Structure 1
């Protein structure tokens, strides 16, 4: 039990250190990774018949999309692209809520696909932003 608590504390420090040293671009990638991991976790719990954990994982994903990805959009500089991303994020949140309500793995898959596509694009522009 102590070893598990120590491992969790170490992981938390690693994540916090990663966040502290990350560029804005890397932070967005981390948000995508967190949302996608939470949705995949929800799918596993949905498949395993664990509604409480499924709901927690979906709530985590919704929180990341709403309070991370959507809140980070710059409508002044991003213009139409920011508006379209906001609409897409809103659609993903609705998919996640419906997946939770109707226990629908296909809606989770669609959310993973949509966020995964955007995350891939963010990863591809990373080297350009970082001057590599």
Structure 2
């Protein structure tokens, strides 16, 4: 019925941390945060499935699909992004459909497939940020 004070405090701390991260983030960093949240949701969904927590699986997969559709796909600039944006949009759409299948069939395999497909994209995005930061330091 009641949540222990330590749990509520930790949750409030995380919310403030996330809000602070978003408010001060560059557009590049926002995409990185979306990828981080996506991977966390996918891992949490796999864990929920393994524990038999169907409600938890549904929550985590819904969050992951929302990140894919509203965050990552919604953030693509189709005019300026050209073929790359089109390819990413198709990939995000495919992954969202696979996650719907995972949810409908309580199947971990589509989740693993999405992690395999999007993991390298997330890592590349992170590397771009590191390279840009290193280039900015070199230009100081």
Show the 5 A alignment for 1:18-97.
Answer: 18-97=21-100
Q: Which runs of 4+ in 1 moved over 4 A?
A: none
Report what 2:126 is aligned to.
123
Q: Work out the CA distance in 2 between the residues paired with 1:38 and 1:119.
A: 14
Aligned CA RMSD, in angstroms, stands at 1.0
Q: Work out the CA distance in 1 between the residues paired with 2:119 and 2:125.
A: 10
Unaligned residue ranges in structure 2 (runs of 5+): none
Higher CA-based Rg? 2
Task: After superposition, give the CA deviation of every residue in 1:66-108 in whole Å (9 maximum; x if it has no partner).
Answer: 0100000001110110000000000000110001111111110
Q: Work out the CA distance in 1 between the residues paired with 2:60 and 2:131.
A: 33
Task: After superposition, give the CA deviation of every residue in 1:23-75 in whole Å (9 maximum; x if it has no partner).
Answer: 11111011001011101100001111111110110000000110100000001
Higher RCO (CA-CA < 8 Å; seq separation 6+): 1
The number of residues matched between the two structures is 132
Please give the TM-score of this superposition, normalised by the length of structure 1: 0.96
SS in 1 for 2:111: helix
Report what 1:100 is aligned to.
103
Please give the TM-score of this superposition, normalised by the length of structure 2: 0.91
Q: Work out the CA distance in 1 between the residues paired with 2:7 and 2:130.
A: 36
